[in-house]
Amino acid sequence: MNIGIASERSGLPAKTIRYYEDIGLLKPDRGDNGYRDYSTSDVHRLRFVQRARGLGFTVSECRQLLSLYDDTGRESADVKSIATAKLVEIDRKIAELKGLRDVLSHLVAHCHGDHRPDCPIIDELAGAQPGS
Amino acid sequence: MNIGIASERSGLPAKTIRYYEDIGLLKPDRGDNGYRDYSTSDVHRLRFVQRARGLGFTVSECRQLLSLYDDTGRESADVKSIATAKLVEIDRKIAELKGLRDVLSHLVAHCHGDHRPDCPIIDELAGAQPGS
DNA sequence: ACAAACCTTCCCAAAACAGGAAGCCTCATC
DNA sequence: GATGAGGCTTCCTGTTTTGGGAAGGTTTGT
């Protein structure tokens, strides 16, 4: 399929898809006309990256995550340790998002309208030390 | 407090803190020596941005989120609608992270070792259409 | 007073894109 | 089969969000 369709299906702009090819995240076939030809599996990779990027993973982290799928030549233990590390990170992110959620919903519920000099909820959130 | 301490407490490099000042995310006082002087509240803002950035919010989204705290002059309904929109987004992110978590943990549990041509879990994940 | 460790501004570079030009390819329509 | 719209290509430039490092002022400890 052409890049336009792949863009539609992955949720990524064509520009970005070409960029990802540039930096080696995927390597679609080329038709006789020189057009890129994306497989369903390419689209899966792209969607995966689209999600991960939106969740604060860097491109190089995405590369690592993708490598978990491309590990035919890789040691199983190696894959497992990377994946496990990512799982920890994901759990941390989930916890942080929940924290953020709490702050915002408290803000909506309690802090609307009056001129609050310093909302205690912010203090609470900010008080939690960052996961090292 | 000086930028070094603020950096330590917020988890952001001094460089980044100065950049955030440049683009108007915060405006610390200046001492007689020209040094920036950060308040506890400044550090809270910085920590907040640090978190939100790590969770995939753009700087301009962070600006919006911060504005929820700075809304003394803003209409309450306005704040509420922005905050509510952000809450929806956060919930989506949480759901996506959970999805990612599932994929990875399934990968660790089931897909280790053998040469799998196409893991069904990936298909499943990629099959879910993006939240419009 | 002198060095170490801060801080300042300024400039350049890199990562991750976005915009736009110039030129092919394709496809429907006349 | 020409023609025009739209999609694709590469290439170049620009923006955002930083990070590195130079050149120089400040503060602090000894």
Closest Cα of chain B to A35: distance in Å? Answer: 24
B59 lies in the same domain as B109: no
B110: closest CA of chain A, how far (Å):
11
CA–CA separation, B126 and A51 (whole Å): 10
Q: Taking Cα atoms as reference points, which of B58, B85, B4, B51 lies closest to residue A128?
A: B51
B28 vs B115, residue with greater confidence: B28
Query: In this predicted structure, what is the pLDDT of residue B127?
Result: 46
**Same domain as B83, residue B128:** yes
Q: Is the CB of A13 under 7 A from strand C?
A: yes
Task: Clarify whether residues A54 and A89 are in a common domain.
Answer: no
- A41–B contact, CB cutoff 8 A: yes
Per-residue buried b or exposed e for B90-121, using 16+ beta carbons within 10 Å of the residue's own CB: beebbebbeebbebbbbbbeebbeeebeebeb
Q: How many domains does chain B have?
A: 2
Instruction: Answer whether B100's CB lies under 8 Å from A52's CB.
Output: yes
Tens of pLDDT along chain A (132 residues) come to: 999 999 999 999 999 999 999 999 999 999 999 999 999 989 989 999 999 999 999 999 999 888 877 765 555 666 677 788 889 999 999 999 998 888 888 777 765 444 444 454 444 444 444 333
The predicted structure's pLDDT at residue A76 = 60
User: Which residue segment(s) compose the domain that B121 sits in?
Assistant: 75-132
Best residue in B41, B43, B46, B93 to probe A by mutation, most A CBs within 10 Å?
A: B93
Nearest nucleotide by C1' from A35 CA?
A: D8
What percent of chain B has pLDDT above 70? Answer: 76
